Chain A
């Protein structure tokens, strides 16, 4: 099994097949490793690479090369979807990621519905789809992971988030309608990515957390729409990874209901215990991004080794990386996992 390609290894672990050691990944999207160190070395920089398929491709390749992560990840932000749906984006700087400057709709009732097929062919979606195509053809042995902003987070990026969260209770009919629309749009986008050749889809939904929504709203709004998107991706023949931010304590019991092929969590979740309680889960995570930014290489290596010993199926950062994370730390992380060959 020593000659598994990174792509084979990842696909095998997602299919619950035996592997020599866990893969070490950084999905892209919210969890991307386009740190300042990579951009300074290569000159392929953000925010320009958010808009240019060639630069986006080159930056994804450079990130993989400089960090040792065993995948290529796209895009480098969480704003592609919201921008296409009409929100105003602040593209940030080299060291600061893009963010929503202004949500386009004041309430779920006021959302304007458009044709999702047409939407999926506009804005920066083409840039991401083309970059995915280039990467998949350039590096056939590496998994190309395309990231979607999850339904709740996308909805809360087009409707003012405070209003949106209240309206989950106040106006459930329209809240469901918006989430259904956003999910259909995400599915249309995912299909284009898959047609372009990406290996799998990762969904990061930072607003859909147990801490923010609580178990009732998470069950009513987060799980069904994540599953709707996941089901469409599966139908298109690709696996899905879902990342949940924050402490999942309040929604832990719902974890097995999420139809993803792997579940990635934040640093404060005990993944070993989660795996013990729900053996059917394929777990992914969860090295503290604070440690990656501010810790010593030794501490990073020790914590990564602990995750491998704990039997975590896929090793990755726990959340979005700080752009100032030193490359030595990231390489310490990926290096430790790769040394572990044969221990699994």
Chain B
């Protein structure tokens, strides 16, 4: 029996929360077969589910393995639905350059932030781990990024974050780029001291912070 649009959207959201990758794929295919709006299925179904998963993560109901499984389910559904988006729904997204600063190869936190940013509608350019400060600035200029998001887990590498801000000033583009920082040893006080625009405790908060910060920047 054919399922209604509402049932499919709810089903997609639930499948993401339940970490059910195969179920997400089946439901996404059904959305396509029935010619339902792919944008709505992504927005309310997949991203909606990921948003719920993010809340469960904040509430410490879910932890990193669970959140990663949810995101796998979301991306699996996204792969099926994306080609069916109408052109006007593919409007240019706000770009974020993200990476782990030089000297650190711990990238679990950064990957979570990337997932949550993508879920919130950002286009994320992921430089990876152990990235020198200049590479963030070069890439941000190249792609016209509005946000640079920096992560580290190691106290040793925190200075690299300040270097990125210094380089942005030297290039005279500090005002055009929002700098967000996060990771184990980072605090709001540290963010303030190096002149970053924002600090987030976890991945869900980082996504909300990014949305808030880009609204403040004049386009």
Contacts and interface: CB of A to CB of B under 8 A. Distances in A.
Chain A interface main SS type: helix
Given A166-B68, A168-B65, A169-B19, A212 B108 contact: yes
B156 A162 contact: no
Interface in B48-103: 60, 62-66, 68-69, 72, 103
Contacts of A217: 63, 65
A66 interface: no
Given A96-B156, A101-B105, A290-B185, A162 B111 contact: yes
A45 interface: no
A169 B62 CA distance: 12
Contact of B155 (A101, A212, A293): A293
Contacts of A212: 63-64, 108
Interface stretch (A106-114, A255-263, A320-328): A320-328
A169 B69 contact: yes
Nearest to B193: A294
Nearest to B62: A214
Interface residues of B, number: 23
A32 to B, nearest CB: 12
B134 interface: no
A331 B64 CA distance: 38
Given A96-B156, A166-B69, A169-B19, A213 B130 contact: no
A250 B63 contact: yes
B155 A99 contact: no
Contacts of A323: 156
Contacts of A100: 105
B55 to A, nearest CB: 15
A31 to B, nearest CB: 12
A99 B153 CA distance: 13
A249 to B, nearest CB: 8
B185 A214 contact: no
B69 A170 contact: yes
A211 B155 contact: no
Interface residues of A, number: 32
Contact of A162 (B62, B104, B105, B108): B108
B167 interface: no
A97 interface: yes
B155 A214 contact: no
Contacts of B103: 92, 96, 99
Contacts of A166: 65, 68-69, 72
A289 B155 contact: yes
B54 to A, nearest CB: 15
Q: Which of A96, A213, A216, A249 has the most CB of B within 10 A?
A: A96
A168 B108 CA distance: 15
B154 interface: yes
B156 A324 contact: yes
B195 interface: no
B121 interface: no
A247 B184 CA distance: 10
A166 B105 CA distance: 19
B118 to A, nearest CB: 15
A266 to B, nearest CB: 9
A165 B65 CA distance: 5
A6 to B, nearest CB: 27
A311 interface: no
Contacts of A97: 156
Given A96-B103, A246-B184, A290-B185, A165 B64 contact: yes
B156 A322 contact: yes
Given A101-B105, A162-B68, A213 B63 contact: yes
Given A214-B60, A246-B184, A323-B156, A165 B105 contact: no
Interface in A278-323: 289-290, 293, 320-323
26 contacts: A90-B105, A97-B156, A99-B103, A99-B104, A99-B130, A100-B105, A162-B108, A162-B111, A165-B64, A165-B65, A165-B68, A166-B68, A166-B69, A168-B65, A169-B66, A211-B63, A211-B64, A213-B63, A214-B65, A217-B65, A246-B184, A320-B154, A320-B156, A321-B155, A322-B155, A324-B156
9 nearest A-B residue pairs (beta carbon)? A214-B63, A322-B155, A99-B105, A165-B65, A96-B103, A166-B68, A212-B64, A322-B156, A168-B65
Interface of B: 19, 60, 62-66, 68-69, 72, 103-105, 107-108, 111, 130, 154-157, 184-185
Given A166-B68, A246-B184, A324-B156, 20 more contacts: A90-B130, A92-B103, A99-B105, A101-B105, A162-B68, A162-B108, A162-B111, A166-B69, A169-B66, A170-B69, A211-B64, A214-B62, A214-B66, A217-B63, A217-B65, A249-B60, A293-B155, A320-B154, A320-B155, A320-B156
